[in-house]
Amino acid sequence: MRLLVLGGIRSGKSEAAEALVADSGRVRYVATARESTSDDAWTARIAAHKARRPETWVTEEAGSSPERLAELLTGAKAEDTILVDDLGNWLSAAYDSGGDWSSEAAINALADAVRSCGAGRLVLVGPEVGLGVLPATAAGRAFADASGLLNQRVAAACDGVALVVAGEVSWLRGGPSEATVAPVVAPAAEPAPAVVAEPFVFESKGAGSVLSTADGGDTLSFSTGMELPLPDESTAHEAAERLLTLRLNGAGLGGLVPIVRFAGGVQGRPDPRPFQQPRVLVLRGDRTGGFAAGDSADAADQRLDEVVEGTGTLAMLAATAGASVQAIDCPSAGPAELHDAIDDATVDSALTLGWRLADAAANEGVDVLVLGACGSGSDAAATAIVAVLTGAEPSALLGRVVDSTGFVDDAAWIRKIGAIRDARHRVRARSRDPHVMLSMLGGGDIAVATGIVLGAASRRLPLLIDGPVAIAAALVARDYGAQTRHWLLMPDHGDNPTVKLASDVLGAAPFLSLRLALGEGATALAALPLINTALTIAAATPLRTAAVETPPEGLSEQEHIEAEIQRVVADSPTAEMPYVKPSWED
């Protein structure tokens, strides 16, 4: 857990930060202030801070060696609790030692250290200097600008950010226990008798761990209008602009520029790094009735077994991309053309599981999620949701049905379309509330996927999507919190009509057009090495160094420009070419 506590002078920010680690027996307190022999008031302030620290705390002095802070953070262990007070003193010392207040290198290096810190709990204190008047001196303005940039970079690397005013703590994002954007915890409801949900089973390849809702504690209650974080638009713009300064041999990254821009925003840095810890979440949720025509639970079992056993296309691509894989067996759904697919209690449980899967991934250091699906009838359920939310005709959205032998089954496609139309007619007078949509048409896998989208956005975790289940979940999640779509990246829509329409509605334009149809999640995994290649080029390519020429002495700038133009013309090969009289002038 990485937390940033901001506040003005005498706001109580240090006391608030100390309270966040008060329950830890041993705390490593990193003091960044430099003691002064000539300022008695400053010495007294430092003494007051020391007096508040319990005897069990260990103080690390970094005031005279600002570079030591990054070393302490990167070398921290999981059992460590670290409190850094404060970033303003560190910034002053870092720039005083470096001498260049226009450089962002020290700020970016510290943000990287915070992001990679392995401590069990890290709390950083920083001054919020942007609420006052603009400083009158150049040095004051430089410090205010650098401090604001430092706060942005470190906040992007933290799980929670608090602002302390007059001793009152307001969490802008996250928090010490539950994120403030998380929905309110409500007691688990009793399931309705209409549809009995099967237990969730969460299997991790190799680990043999099982997670079910019986062990998950209280169920979270989700509602519309959730306040979720947004990617850093300023760093996204900086990342795209920075590409123009790279010393490339060609014209640039072309269609891969949106990747760099997206990564710059979600990582909160103008030089985004390749994704090092991807995780694939594969959802299996079966259906009965017309939605499952041409598919079967046995075929879905086989697809899930391939994921768990490490065989098949998706597992092979995951291994190539260095991604961990987790398979989630979601509750089955009833025939949506006859009655609601799942009950309200199951929707709450599924959303909660999805939220906690994303939250657990972020806590384990995962830096990008890939959403996959392999349940029977999931394509029809996704088509039904997209058709209802967009008003599109189902027959124009549902792709061809391919059976387990690889042959196109047109009869199954007709049955699916009939079931989708019947379901849409059944719910025509019902609310389009996202919770109701998941209950009426979605099923367990789309509900879990929706919770994953919401949870990923709350933890500032990017999500790669490429199939109908993920795109339907993204549409529903948008109605819970509109910010979710900004954390989604679509490599390729696979020429799937449902995915194409929904991605257009969400504004999630794919950056590839390969028409890959490898199964949901596999297309994104196939594109992940290309994504990391683009980010590697953007981060590692040196910048161009423009030669700066000063005008010759005695010439104005305009005279120098005119002289330079004459020199270029004179040096041009065409300047010495003889005049050849054309034939028509004879």
In 3D space, the residue among 341, 425, 433 whose CA is nearest the CA of residue 382 turns out to be 341
- Whether the ω angle into residue 86 lies within 30 degrees of 0, i.e. cis, is yes
Q: Which amino acid is at 70?
A: A
DSSP state of 166: T
Q: Nearest-CA neighbor of 475 among 442, 444, 443?
A: 442
d(C-alpha 30, C-alpha 509), whole Å: 45
Question: Catalytic site residue 520?
Answer: yes
Q: Choose the catalytic residue: 18, 128, 306, 520.
A: 520
Residue type, 326: Q
| Strand 58-61, strand 28-31: pairing | parallel
Distance CA 428, CA 502 (A): 20
Please tell me whether residue 455 adopts helix, strand or coil conformation. Answer: helix
pLDDT number for residue 551: 54
Q: List the chain pLDDT tens, one digit each, 586 residues.
A: 889 999 988 888 888 888 888 888 788 999 888 776 677 777 777 777 777 778 888 888 887 888 889 888 988 888 889 999 889 888 888 877 766 666 688 888 888 899 889 888 999 999 998 776 677 787 778 888 888 888 888 988 888 888 999 888 888 877 664 333 333 333 333 333 333 333 333 333 333 333 444 434 567 888 888 989 999 999 999 999 999 998 888 878 888 999 999 999 999 999 999 999 999 999 988 898 999 888 877 777 888 888 877 778 888 899 888 899 988 988 889 999 999 999 999 999 999 999 999 999 998 889 999 999 988 899 999 999 999 999 999 999 998 887 766 788 889 899 999 999 999 999 998 889 999 999 999 999 999 999 999 999 999 999 999 999 999 999 999 999 999 999 999 999 988 999 999 999 999 889 888 888 888 899 999 999 999 999 999 998 888 875 445 555 666 666 666 666 566 455 544 444 455 555 555 5
> How would you classify the pairing of strands 81-85 and 58-61?
unpaired
Which of these, 472, 478, 420, lies nearest to 449 by C-alpha position? 472
The one-character DSSP state at 438 is I
To the question of pTM greater than 0.85 for the whole model, the response is no
The answer to whether 394 and 346 are in contact (CB under 8 A) is: no
Residue linked to tokens 């089973």: 201
* pLDDT score, position 68: 87
Which residues are paired to 392 by β-bridges? Answer: none
Report the Cα 274 to chain-centroid distance in Å: 13
